[in-house]
Amino acid sequence: MLARIEAMRMQLRPSERKLADYILDAPREVLDLAMTELAGRVGVSQPTIARFCHALGCGGFREFKIRLAQSIAQSVPSVYRDVRPDEPASGVIAKVFDRTIGALIEVRNSLSAASVARAIDLLAQASRIEFYGAGGSGIAAQDIQHKFFRLGIPSVAYADPHTYSISAALLGAGDVLVAISNTGRTRDIVEAAQSALAGGAKVIAITHSNSTLAQIATVSLSANIAEETDIFSPMTSRMSHLAIGDILAVGVALRRGPELVDKLAQAKATLTRRRIDPDA
């Protein structure tokens, strides 16, 4: 619920955004308040609270508080900015792992099964698949493409904007572009996606749900991870993107069925021959 509020915050009216900010700052406090008390503390009307709850898919304020309580109970508290300058190694280990695990749980709970199923359909039927990403997302694109490469699907990954801009313009009907972007606002990626769509290709976006890339994509798979990317390189979002890539690869492998088993066995045998025999 907290991740959903954060994702839709900029789409809300000013009064509803004020309410959203209060809830994000003090979610546990909200659980103990009646609607009249919350309205008084935030300085908004009760109808505003009711509209806010309905916008989140809740039947009313009572249901909203129940789902908020569940969200708080399931969350893993810890963010990178909690790491102190003098943080010992044990603290760094715990906080980074907790943050990563918490982010993966958030994405798992919010990922649309219908969108994943549609993305798998497009990928399973594609004649060619291309993966684009800039910066850290480019590394994720290469990792995900490698999984599809092992499935015997014609695919390639590009991280250079000049290269994927040209390649996107050459895509056509039957081709699928998987565009990966944490913010969904990287100009080169968005323009490449638009170019691919103009040529008749389908675009699957792994990105933030409230982004330009998500809005133009054929299918959007949301990973709404809040990170301080101005200072640090994306960490938890990258792990979430890789997990979504694994989901797509497994789904396509299952869809292709028995015909894939022999190819995977051949690939495995090739790798085995390249390993040093420990008994030799």
Higher pLDDT, 257 or 46: 46
Q: Which of 74, 101, 121 is the last residue of a domain?
A: 74
> Among the listed ranges 18-32, 128-142, 232-246, which one has the minimum average pLDDT value?
232-246
Residues 65 and 10 placed together within one structural domain of the fold: yes
Which of residues 19, 47, 74 is at a domain's end? 74
Residues 64, 126 within the same domain: no
The Cα–Cα gap between 156 and 172 comes to 15
- State the pLDDT confidence band at 108, using cuts at 50, 70 and 90: confident
Q: Is the pLDDT of residue 279 over 70?
A: no
What pTM does this model have?
A: 0.68
pLDDT of residue 261: 67
| Domain membership flag for residue 81 | no
Tokens read off for 110: 């919010």
Tokens found for residue 116: 């994943």
User: Cα(164)–Cα(190) distance, rounded to whole angstroms?
Assistant: 11
Alpha carbon distances (Å) from 49 to 22, 204, 249, 270: 12, 35, 42, 61
Q: Are 196 and 177 in contact (CB under 8 A)?
A: yes
pLDDT for 233 beyond 70 = no
Total domain count for the chain?
2
25 vs 121 pLDDT, higher one: 121
31 is a domain residue: yes
Reduce the DSSP state of residue 54 to 3 states and report it.
Answer: helix
Kindly tell me if the per-residue pLDDT of 243 is higher than 50.
yes
Question: Mean pLDDT, to the nearest integer, of 47-67?
Answer: 90
Pick the last residue of a domain from 59, 74, 89. 74
Interval 28-37: pLDDT, tens? 888 888 899 8
- Both tokens of 176, joined, read 């699928």
Is the predicted pLDDT of residue 258 greater than 80, yes or no?
no
Q: Is the pLDDT of residue 12 over 80?
A: yes
pLDDT at position 95 is 78
Res. 278 pLDDT band, cuts 50 70 90: confident
69-83, 210-224, 239-253: segment of lowest average pLDDT: 69-83
Per-residue pLDDT tens digits for 113-125: 999 999 999 999 9
Long-range CB pairs of 241-246 (<8 Å, 24+ gap) are 241/137, 241/140, 241/144, 241/180, 241/182, 241/206, 242/140, 242/143, 242/144, 243/104, 243/107, 244/107, 244/111, 244/206, 245/140, 245/143, 245/144, 245/147, 245/206, 246/147
Residues 13 and 123 in one domain: no
Question: Is residue 242 domain-resident?
Answer: yes
Among 100, 71, 50, 76, residue whose Cα is nearest residue 7: 71
pLDDT mean over 1-13: 83
| Residue range of the domain that includes 249 | 113-268
Q: Is 215 a domain residue? A: yes
CA angle, residues 223, 233, 184, in degrees to nearest 5: 40
What pLDDT shows up at residue 234? 57
DSSP per-residue letters across 144-155: HHHHHHTTT--E
Q: Is residue 167 very low, low, confident or very high in pLDDT (cuts 50, 70, 90)? A: very high
- Does residue 39 sit in the same domain as residue 163? no
Q: Domain of 219: which CATH number?
A: 3.40.50.10490
Residues 130/177, Cβ–Cβ less than 8 Å:
yes
Strands of 219-222's sheet, edge to edge?
155-158, 128-133, 175-180, 202-207, 219-222
What region does 223 belong to: left with phi over 0, alpha with psi -120 to 50, or beta?
beta
CB 239 within 8 A of CB 100: yes
Residue from 2, 6, 25 nearest 38 by CA? 25
Q: Which helix (H) or strand (E) holds 130?
A: strand 128-133
Where residue 23 sits, what CATH number does that domain have? 1.10.10.10
Given pLDDT bands bounded at 50, 70 and 90, which one contains residue 237? confident
Instruction: State the average pLDDT over residues 241-249.
Output: 95
Residue with the bigger pLDDT between 151 and 277: it is 151
Residue 274 forms part of a structural domain: no
Q: Is 128 helix (H, G, I), strand (E, B) or coil?
A: strand
Place of tokens 């190694």: 89
